[in-house]
Each structure stands twice: as structure tokens, then as C-alpha cells.
Structure 1
Amino acid sequence: MRRGILFPVAVFVLCSPSLTSAQVREIVLDGETFRKTADGRRLAELAHGTRVIVQRTDGSWVEVRIEGWVPSGTIAETTREGHNGIITTQGGERLRVEPEGPATGLLLEGFLVDRVEDRDGWSRVRRSGWVREAALTAVSTSLGPAENQGERRPSLVAPGRELTAGEAALVLHAAPEGRAAVTVETGTPVTVLERRSGWTRVRVEGWARSERLVIADRDSVVAGVSAAALRASPDDYARVRLRWTVQFLALEEAEPERIDFYEGEPFLLARAPDPGDGLIYVAVPEELLEAAKELRPLQIIDILVQVRTGRSALMGVPVLDLLALF
């Protein structure tokens, strides 16, 4: 049986108010691997928007500290390697911004942590490790108290919050800075799904004349679909075919916890076509594997794909099946 774990796209880690923006960085790639040493063993996966504390750099790798909350019952005591806690949840445990708050990453089973606080069945933990420098970007402000965190306050990004369109012609876009998709009138109720970099993803409900609706042709290639749209409405795009221009990063093999793949299935790790859309995973069939092995990191490629899922269970990113490589 497959177990689903959903992650919000934009999340953050609360840290000490005394930190300066020079020490704070933000993960810009969904599913970025957090490792024990530079290019070493994988310990966790971090979501887009996770804030980390930089400690030192070593070439293309950066040592960072992550911090957050996990249920106390998921940690056992240990003295291994100078840490006092170890994650015991089979399949891993979600690290959260605050108790019952949004998830910022997945800590794998056996992940060693420093347990620094317990509160009402939750434990605050921290751990240092390594990420790629290419996965980090600077932040413009320090991590001060909640009242100074602007749009990143949890109350503003809580899923399900209801707002009202405040302009006579509120234009909704398919993705941040993407094409205009629909216009709603002032006073129209909208539901907040997430907030990211000055943009808010919302859901609008309404009624349309039945005779104006047509069934999408799933065998044709659909244009103008962003990775953000796939994540927002995964059921609507199941098995839809897309032709995208993406940036190839690496050819990897799926590990057991990636439950949207079979174990060992090869896949392309690539950047989505729209700015800010993060990563996509592209499963490679056997007949295209040799061609995929010839790709170079950061190479721009054209691909024909079919959507396997618009939002993966592990990290909430699109998983696509490769049909052709151009």
C-alpha cells in the first residue's frame, strides 16, 4: 500500500531573532537533499522555501543548520555521534515549522538530531548537514519575531483562509509571472492555498453553463501548462501529455521512500520551465535510458512527457513519464 505525504510548497524554519540575513539562506529547489557530509549520505529532503542557517562552505557545498518540530513520540534517546535523539518513524518523519504547523522537510528513519525543547507532545530539534550551494538563495530580511516576518507569518499562509477579491479586475495567473488565466470581479470570495514571493495561490469556485464545457483530449499535447498548475490540480492533469523545455540536473535512481516510482527506477531531476516552479521528476523508460545518460548537467533539453502525478506523495512535485527526448 502506498502512503502519501503532502508538503506545502513554501515553508520556513523559525530560528533565533539575533540572526542576520547574511547567515540565512533559503532553499529554492523542492526535494533538495540534506546530507551528512559534502556529497555524502542522504539524511533528509527539504522543501522549497525552507530557511537554513549557513555555517561554512566547501567548494560547491554549504554546511547549514536546520531546525523545527516533530512529535515527541517519533524520537528515541541515543548518544550516537554526540546527538541525543534519533528519528524512529518507518519511512521518515515530517519536520514542521511549529507544532501542528506546515512541513518543511522529511527526516529519514535513523536521522540523528539534537533535541533542544519539549512542549505538549512535540519536540524542537536541530541538526547540521550539507546542501548544494546551487540550491540556496539569499533572503532580504533577518528572521525576527513573527510580527516582523511579513507575508511569511503562518496566519497569512494557512490553507483554507478566505479572502475577497479587492480589485474590479483581479487577474489570476497560471503561475507566478505566468500567463493570465481568468479575471474575477471585486467581492468574489477566494480561498488561500499558499503564498510565495509576493504571490498567493487561490481557489475560486463557481458555476458554468454545461454546454460550454468540453472533455479534454488526453492523447493530444496540451500547451501552456506550468508545473505550478500540475501541483495545484493534480487530478485534472493525470495522463495529460506536455512538451516542455527544461534544464537537466542529474540522472538518479528512485529510492524506496519515493513511492510514486518503483524502487530503482531511473529518473531525470530537472528544473521546470517556468521561473520559480522548482523541480520536476521525469521517469525514464529503458528504451530512452542510454540517451538520458548522455545528458550533461545544466543542459537545456526538450522533452515530451505524460503526467504520472501532478503532485508527488513525498515532496509534492510533478512526476512525469518520458515519451521522447529531443
Structure 2
Amino acid sequence: MSFRWGTLRGALLLVGWLLFLPPEAVTAQEAASVRVEENFRREPNGLILARVSPGAEVRVLDSRDGWSQVELSGWVWLPSLQVSDDPDLGLVVSASDGENLRAEPRGAVRARLVEGALLAELERQPSWARVSRIGWIWTASLQDASLEAAPSSPPPAASPPVGPRPPAARAPGDFVASAGGAILVAPDGDTLAVARPTSDVQVVRREGNWARVRLEGWMWMPGSATPTAEDAPVEETSALEPGDLASRPDEGAGRAVEWTLQFISLERAEEIRTDFFRGEPFLLTRFGGGDGPFVYVAVPLDRLDEVEGLVPLESISITGRIRTGASSLTGVPIVDLVSIRRAGGAP
């Protein structure tokens, strides 16, 4: 059987946030460890229950569609818990800022549980409860726990310094991810892909210790048809609308959406808007016309020239990723701009 190479400049024209690691597979019913800090969810792409620490061990129960169902267990400080009404999950995290899940009482932190997370009680000691919860985590962020202790190759000897340290990369610019890395959908978000050690990435923007990057590469796509323009990768978008996010704002975070909006103005975020970086540009828009709900569209600096010519009340179609379903100041959803098209068809 013959196969063709499909070019996927786009599927690995990944735009994400960089944190470094390499991949290993895990299978169901085995202990696994978490490679990087990762979300622990009620269901795939669902409500976030906890933020799991690197190195934390979980038990894998099932895997499908890029997600693994795992059991997370540990110890929680009793004053941060209350009895719940759930017959199967009898405890709930009551601390307003969440609580640590530890490997043992006063031990290493395995995860940070969010307020309202339901837990099953396994055991109790004075001031502590051992609990567990079954949820979902992105499979690419797991590895076989037995690999954790495997010795790694010694790093090459460092060359003696020859001169002053070179300045840090500035956006935009090229950068070699010497240690490899996980590319996240947003800072502290889910893992989108993994960059191998020494991967060349382009730094588009920096925000503190985070870098927004682009990575280009090839993917094996066997097939018999000659590639056409229709084969160009299109990111799967969600049918979510702003009204769907109001009651459960965290559940849509990281999902891609395609919305038609009415442009009102281009703004810069003030310090009081804590869901933005200070001075970050964003579009003030309405979903579905003049009477629709407001939507904020965060604009990357490298795409600012695409929106500066927009006219108030102009209709635009955007593809973006949900940053939050409800901003802390106004309750308006915020999406990060991926692409924009004006009503006349011009990009």
C-alpha cells in the first residue's frame, strides 16, 4: 500500500504557551505520574476540580480521545472541608481559596483543590482526612510512574563562559527550546502539544515568565488523494455561545469558538481589569448585533494592525479561544483572538 506525506504546516503552526517536558505513554489500570502542572477535570474539557503538581502520582482507570480517567488521592486539612449532600462524595472543599491535597499529613503537595470540589473520604486522622476523587486529565501530561525514577543521561559539560550573558529573547524572535517543552492553550491551561528538546520556536509575545510561541513542523498523514486547499487543518470549534458561559464560566476555558460579533471599539486594559495584562489591547464587541451580550476579544500585539482599521458597528467573524466565561470585573466573556474576518470577506 502506498501512502503520501501530507503537509501540515498549520497543525503544527501551534500557537501556545511554553512549559518544558518530553512525552511517554500510559495505559489503563497503572500508576502514572504527572509531568507538568496540569488541570484535573470532572469530565474531558469539563469543570476544573484541581490543579495537579508535577510528579504527583495518579491511578489510570481509562483512556480515550486524548484524555485519561484517573483517581487522585491524598490528605486534606479537615478545617477546610465540610460534609456534602452527595451520597457518594461525602466531603466538599469549603475554603474560599481552595486547599492543598497532600501525599501525607503535612507532606508534599500533590494538587490544589478548588472550592466546591466534592471528595470521597477514605480515612480520617486528627485534623486530617484521606480522600480521593476520580476525574480526567490530558493523557499527554502523564507518564508511567516507573519512568520517574529511571536515570537520565548526564548533561554535557558546560562550556566555560566566554563573555557576558546574551540578552533574553524578545518577541517576536527565534528561540531554541533546549529542554523540550509542553505547549499550553494558555498560561496554566491544558497541554496542547509537546515540543521535543532543541525544537525551534518563534517567540511572539512574553508575559512575565510565559512566552507565547509558534512552532512549525510536519505530521504523517497517510492518504491516497492529492492534497488540496480543503486539506488545510481547521481547528474544531465549539458551539458554545456567550449565554452558555454565564452560569459556568470556567467550563469553557481553553475551548475554540467561532463567533460573529459587532465591533464597538478598540480598548486598552486598565489595571483594574485583572483578567487582562495591564495595557493589553482588546476589542469591545457585542455578540449577534446591537442588543446582544458584550464580548471582550483580547488581541495579540502581532495582530494589532489587523484590527486598528475596524469601524464602529462593523460586523466581524472571529475564531478565538475562551480565556474566561465571565471576567471578574464585569462578568463579560473574554476570548483570545486567533483569526478575524471582516464582513466584506477581507481577512
Q: Give the TM bin, normalised by the shorter chain.
A: 0.3 to 0.5
The answer to which structure has the higher helix fraction is 1
TM-score scaled by length of structure 1: 0.46
TM-score scaled by length of structure 2: 0.43
